[in-house]
């Protein structure tokens, strides 16, 4: 009986922490096939995004992530809240986010072996650059500015 006195409060703290963090970080919104991470809106269907990019002639940014990835959370909280990053991504790229646990086929097709992974494609779907793992905001901003030129 004494064990349960310590176990139950610990479980409640863990569960409540998970429920509190989730909604503020990710908002699927009313748009089907779209995902908002911090201030950045992504397509979740790569085929729609690649079609739009080809039609508009602009590059694609694919962000591979998972809900349980600590480095993804850090990247999203730091980078997707930076106004320069948001402005550059929204103005110069078609954005796609894939969840590596929920979108297994896409994960294989993009050859994603860990999260986070950032992949850039030209408007025809040819890979330009791949960043496996976490990258700091300044490095990421330099990369997207270079690709957007």
- CA 92 – CA 49 distance, rounded (Å): 13
pLDDT tens for 31-64 read 567 888 887 899 998 988 888 888 889 999 999 9
Q: What is the pTM (predicted TM-score) of this model?
A: 0.75
pLDDT tens for 75-112 read 999 999 999 999 999 999 999 999 999 999 898 999 99
> Region 127-133: what's the mean pLDDT?
95
Query: At residue 7, does pLDDT exceed 70?
Result: no
4 or 77, which is more confident? 77
Any idea what the Cα angle at residue 102 is, between residues 82 and 105, rounded to 5°? Answer: 105
**What domains are defined for the chain?**
25-148 (3.40.30.10)
- CA 44 – CA 65 distance, rounded (Å): 11
């Amino acid at each position: 009986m004494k064990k349960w006195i310590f176990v139950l409060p610990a479980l409640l703290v863990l569960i409540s922490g998970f429920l509190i963090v989730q909604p503020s970080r990710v908002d699927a919104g009313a748009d089907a096939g779209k995902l908002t991470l911090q201030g950045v809106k992504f397509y979740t269907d790569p085929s729609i995004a690649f079609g739009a990019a080809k039609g508009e002639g602009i590059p694609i940014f694919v962000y591979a992530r998972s809900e349980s990835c600590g480095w993804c959370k850090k990247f999203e909280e730091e980078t997707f809240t930076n106004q320069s990053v948001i402005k550059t991504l929204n103005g110069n790229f078609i954005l796609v986010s894939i969840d590596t646990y929920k979108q297994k086929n896409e994960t294989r097709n993009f050859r994603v072996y860990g999260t986070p992974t950032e992949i850039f494609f030209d408007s025809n779907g040819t890979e330009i650059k791949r960043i496996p793992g976490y990258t700091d905001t300044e490095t990421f901003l330099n990369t997207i500015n270079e690709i957007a030129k």
